[in-house]
Amino acid sequence: MTVHKATLEVPADKMQFCQRACQENRDDLDIGKDEKIFDESVAFGNGFVMDIQVIGPLSNEPCWTQGVLYRANDAFATEKPVYNEVACTEVGESLEGEFHVEYDGDEYKVEVVEVEPEP
């Protein structure tokens, strides 16, 4: 099994808001139903990309997180690649930390870390 690793750096202010959204009820933060308040992509360099997301729930509950793994679809070769979803992580309760999935004998890991903004 090959392990593919990547790191996603999130500015402290954005990380703190997302972490708060994962702990407090959606209505308290004015977040829409099923709204993606965070959605960043990380490329592994082998045709696979993982989106890391924080999503508002359908009811007045805290947001939830997930990682979604996509594979480039060469059948639709254009200037901008077309990706197909192939796997996703379990639903989580925190943006910070590791998101990982296994697909086709390989493991894909993204470590989400908080970074201080540059002065």
Domain ranges across the chain: 3-105
Residues with Cβ within 8 Å of residue 64, at least 6 apart in sequence: 22, 54, 55, 57, 91, 92, 93
- pLDDT band of residue 60 (cuts 50, 70, 90) is confident
- Please give the pLDDT value at position 44: 95
Helix-strand-coil split of the chain, %, nearest 5:
15, 50, 35
Percent of the chain topping pLDDT 70: 92
**Phi, psi values for residue 19, rounded to 5°:** -65, -40
More confident residue, 9 or 117: 9
Tens digit of each residue's pLDDT (9 = 90 or more) over 5-59: 999 999 999 999 999 999 988 777 888 888 999 999 999 999 899 999 999 988 8
pTM of this prediction? 0.90
69 near 48, Cβ under 8 Å?
A: yes
Cα distance between residue 37 and residue 13, in whole Å:
13
Residues with Cβ within 8 Å of residue 24, at least 6 apart in sequence: 62
